């Protein structure tokens, strides 16, 4: 299951997804808004702080070459399986026959 992230802006306009939120934060860095992750309200956040957290997360994101699932690792050890499709070959491209 993919993580659903919603940022409710000062004008009550919901913005969905990390890339869209990051773009909005870059345009309006001094605003605050409320953040929801998978339907849970995380409270009010400062856009500068949220932008820093998102940048750290996007730099450390892993992506499966098989199913396209992306996730944040829990630690620095390379995972053995993709959490989306359970493939042990998540970091190897498919061989072409």
Residues 6+ apart with CB under 8 A from 20: none
48-75 pLDDT per residue, tens: 777 666 666 555 678 889 988 877 777 7
Is the domain of 11 the same as that of 36?
Answer: yes
**Same structural domain for residues 49 and 68?**
no
**10-55 confidence digits (pLDDT tens):** 777 787 777 777 777 777 777 778 877 767 777 777 777 776 666 6
Provide the domain limits for residue 28: 5-59
Please check whether residues 51 and 84 belong to one and the same domain. Answer: no
State whether 9 and 42 are in the same domain.
Answer: yes
- Do 9 and 51 fall within a single domain? yes
Residues 6 or more apart in contact with residue 26 via CB below 8 angstroms = 51
Do 41 and 75 belong together in one domain? no
Q: How far is CA 22 from CA 33, 45, 48, 61, in A?
A: 13, 14, 10, 15
Helix residue spans in the chain (DSSP H):
18-27, 47-59
């Amino acid at each position: 299951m993919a993580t659903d992230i919603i940022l409710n802006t000062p004008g009550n306009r919901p913005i969905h997804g990390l890339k869209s939120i990051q773009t909005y934060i870059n345009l309006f860095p001094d605003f605050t808004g409320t953040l929801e992750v998978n339907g849970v309200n995380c409270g009010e956040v400062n856009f500068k702080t949220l932008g820093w957290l998102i940048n750290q997360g996007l730099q450390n994101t892993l992506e499966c070459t098989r199913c396209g699932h992306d996730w944040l690792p829990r630690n620095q050890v390379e995972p053995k399986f993709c959490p989306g499709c359970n493939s042990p070959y998540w970091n190897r491209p498919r061989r072409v026959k």
